Structure 1
């Protein structure tokens, strides 16, 4: 039986009757083991609570969702737990019928009451991370119509709400006992219906999952040829050097490398030369979103855009790319980098229709070519940028006193950059020197990953590095990134603390559109406004994944278009006999 499908603004690629996704091998053998690496440690098996350092794999491997996204389409949903889904004619409700074969790992059937309990827990439990509450904010209620049918009623029409409900992770309503909350389920993993069950763990060190031999969905079109390993595990490492050496020693099987220096100089030796370890750069078409050093606007010192622009001018990406990154990276220039969603050229008619009513609230730069990150050339280096930065600081009311930049009350400008990785010590070194020439003191504070996450949740930082992840069909997550409500919600992804009336006016466009063209116009308009605000110092991106693996795995002949490297390995690889 083919899964039902929905697509946002286009006809789904896979028609009724499809047997498997094109990027899997439907005949892949089952068996073997896949070990992966993880950073830092973990102290909770609960993937949904705001507090705690969460274990990798629990949600992705043990919990099924109502539907799954195809990785070779911009945004389609094919039924998993749901064997039928219908959007109401008035677009004010969405109905899912559950597959009667669906079973939790304990053998109990997955029912509508479990879906309702999962939704209510994630959106109403005060201990839950707020991203769910913001993501599904336009859902008024979830109602169990019968044992296998659930209906979600909407507060208002929302163009993608029926699609993002497909992503709802469903756990047994019996997981959380009466009188308890998510906060009480620290070391009690959720009871799910996914392809794996948690089999072993040592807090902070490792965690392993065993394939459920009775997995109810193994032969569905959306699961055929997938999740082939009998065991999937994660080993935790405190720093990147230890992780790389452990990989080369065979402690884990697949490495998705994030550090340019490691990729250029660490993945070498006899095991690579003789083919025991494979090293490849694999192309993808994922939107790179935006990674950057974000300013926390909750700190009064960052209120003036001219200061933020001056600090951005002092970061010499070209120097870092030559001297630290081996020329591997491209500068990120958009909140939708590497996609058609990024703004370019002058605003078109569809964009102006959104921007013109906001003209009084917007920087005039929004109506010109989109703001690009500063650039340095080999001849003049950073000097021109620092001169421009110095002028901006003077215009903003800063002055020099005793070799330091001070405000009108004589207070020097000191900035703490918070991170959990020592790699940013190297990246920040040149930036610190350039900022010192402007009289600004930048210090780098490296903390344990658990402490870092806690401070991130509490917005307790001056600057830090974040990733605004972008799908190829942006929607409600933009509210979590940029809305005033999210700025005031601990644990949200509005890391900048942005609460801007023009941005607030644009965000509903990501909830109410009827065509791909309208979504593109909204993305271009928002991108222009955010880039003109200098809310972060843009980092860098790659149009490919850097991967290495021990040469004992089979892989499908075709790569998906929009994939993450480790997810691709978990879902579609198999161990060769």
Structure 2
């Protein structure tokens, strides 16, 4: 019943979508100027480098780049140099953005927030941004980054009214300035932050024994960082090295995409990175998938840390029952404060723009929508442009 139907399919390689000529909604006002392509082909590649090579050769015509190193240094191939391929950034959406690490609290070593804070201290974002991200990306502080739902400063009276019934459960930091992640000196091994991390581990009962910290049973504090591709391994390696410096037995486990999804779905990990968007107007259902207590025990859900909190559940319920935008914003700011104080998720970074390369054969509205980047719906094939670059 939509504007496209599935056409040719090659399992594991390609799927094509063909425009439905007699689509019932074609002439509706809301659909004017959209769904312009007669055929859309999506190709699948085993890794990012193979997909990049396909763009360079012209086998694919559009690519969004998610690897800063490649964006900074890899776009120097002939088709880009002679203008057949365009490299451009488009503004990001004005919707909540979350990219964060979950430490699996189903495992006892991660239940103490001091351990989670110590691990967070080992992430040197300033060094990572300069060396690995080539100056791209901004530090994320919130699960609702880039939105009105991000908590800032002290809680408002309205937020406090939602938080006060749970004061005994919540960390004291919930009721002060919104918790911020530490800023490093950019050296990659900030001694001040690493010393603070060591103190947090000691307070949590982890004592140094040779090269490692151990608990009262003599067990090492082990952290296995789950990764799906080489780019994530490259990002996590300095983080792991800093953890080793303070005595954590840190390692990285790279697995294929099938294993990765299975381990995520079954909560079979210590440390896992998630990028997620919950939409411009979050619903209770969308929030529950990530944060609600019942979902901590439901395989396939995204409550990766295993959050179980009456306060979190109540704030999700308050958001779901909000009768106005103001009430929704208040409930989500209060939720953000709780999540940041508990450090269920360690915020990492976000990208302000879409980094895109495409063969210069398309037209598109110059003003991008604020709440989406629907290339397949808003762009169109430009015959004149295509003819100029030999793609007509």
Separation (CA, whole Å) in 2 of partners of 1:497 and 1:221: 45
Question: In structure 1, what is the equivalent of residue 380 of structure 2?
Answer: 574
Residue 519 (structure 1) aligns with = 328
Aligned counterpart for 1:487 among listed residues 296, 299, 304: 296
One of 50, 65, 81 as aligned partner of 1:273:
81
* 2:54 corresponds to: 246
Instruction: Confirm or deny: 8 A CA contact 1:346 1:367 kept in the other structure.
Output: yes
Alignment of 1:556 onto 2:365: yes
Instruction: Report the CA distance shift for 1:283/1:380 in structure 2 as closer, same or farther (over 3 A).
Output: closer
Q: For 1:512 and 1:536, how far apart are their aligned partners in 2?
A: 25
CA contact (8 A) 1:479 1:507 kept: yes
- Equivalent residue number for residue 496 of structure 1: 305
Distance 1:210 1:287 in 2: 30
Structure-2 separation of matches of 1:469 and 1:359: 29
Aligned to 1:422: 230
- Say whether 1:466 aligns with 2:271: no
Task: Please give the secondary structure, in 2, of the residue aligned with 1:279.
Answer: strand
Q: Does the CA-based 8 Å contact 1:288-1:541 persist in structure 2?
A: no
Q: 1:395 aligns with which of 197, 203, 211?
A: 203
SS of structure 1 residue aligned to 2:165: helix
Residue 31 of structure 2 aligns to a residue whose secondary structure is: coil
Partner of 1:529: 338
1:375 Cα deviation (Å)? 1.0
Residue 289 of structure 2 contacts residue 301 of structure 2 at CA under 8 Å; is this kept in 1?
A: yes
**1:471 Cα deviation after fit:** 2.0
SS at match of 1:361: coil
The alpha carbon displacement at 1:396 in A equals: 0.5
Between the aligned partners of 1:237 and 1:251, the Cα distance in structure 2 is 12
Map 1:356-367 to 2 at 5 A: 356-367=164-175
CA distance in 1, matches of 2:43, 2:93: 29
Deviation at 1:470, TM superposition (A): 3.1
Shift of 1:466: 0.6
| 1:439 to 1:380, Cα distance in 2 relative to 1, 3 A | closer
- Length-normalised TM-score, structure 2: 0.94
The CA RMSD measured in Å over matched residues stands at 1.4
2:280, 2:25 → 1: CA distance? Answer: 27
- 1:314 alignment counterpart: 122
The reply to whether residue 219 of structure 1 matches residue 11 of structure 2 is no
Give the helix-richer structure, 1 or 2: 2
Q: Which runs of 4+ in 1 moved over 3 A?
A: 378-381
Distance apart, 1:318 and its partner CA:
0.7
| Deviation (angstroms), 1:379 | 7.3
Q: Which residue of 1 aligns with 2:283?
A: 475
Task: Please identify, of 338-347 and 201-210, the stretch whose mean Cα deviation from structure 2 is larger.
Answer: 201-210
Equivalenced residues, count: 382
Residue pairs, 1:88-487, within 5 angstroms = 193-378=1-186, 382-476=190-284, 477-487=286-296
- Kept after mapping to 2: 8 A contact 1:286/1:338: yes
Higher RCO (Cα < 8 Å, 6 or more apart)? 2
The secondary structure found in structure 2 opposite 1:294 is: strand
CA distance in 1, matches of 2:348, 2:28: 41
Indicate if the aligned counterparts of 2:144 and 2:336 stay in contact, CA closer than 8 A.
Answer: yes
Displacement of 1:378 in angstroms is: 4.4
Which blocks of at least 5 consecutive residues in structure 2 are unaligned? 384-392
Q: Report deviation, 1:489.
A: 1.1
Structure 1 pair 491–550 and aligned structure 2 pair: CA distance change class (3 A) = same
**Greater Cα radius of gyration, structure 1 or 2:** 1
- 1-structure distance, mates of 2:232, 2:248: 18
Which runs of no fewer than 5 residues in structure 1 stay unpaired?
1-192
- Preserved contact between residue 96 and residue 280 of structure 2 (Cα < 8 Å): no
Query: What SS does structure 1 have at the residue aligned with 2:95?
Result: coil
User: Cα distance, 1:286 vs. partner?
Assistant: 2.3
Deviation at 1:221, TM superposition (A): 1.8
TM-score, structure 1 as length reference? 0.65
CA shift, 1:425, in A, is 1.5
Give the match's secondary structure for 1:237.
coil
Asked if the contact 1:312/1:536 (under 8 Å) is kept, the reply is no
CA contact (8 A) 1:284 1:543 kept: yes
Where does residue 110 of structure 1 map in the other structure? none
1:522, distance to aligned residue in structure 2 (A): 0.5
CA contact (8 A) 2:124 2:186 kept: no
Deviations 1:473-521 (A, max 9, x none): 1222111111111111111121111111211221111111111111111
Cα contact 2:223–2:251 (8 A) shared by 1: yes
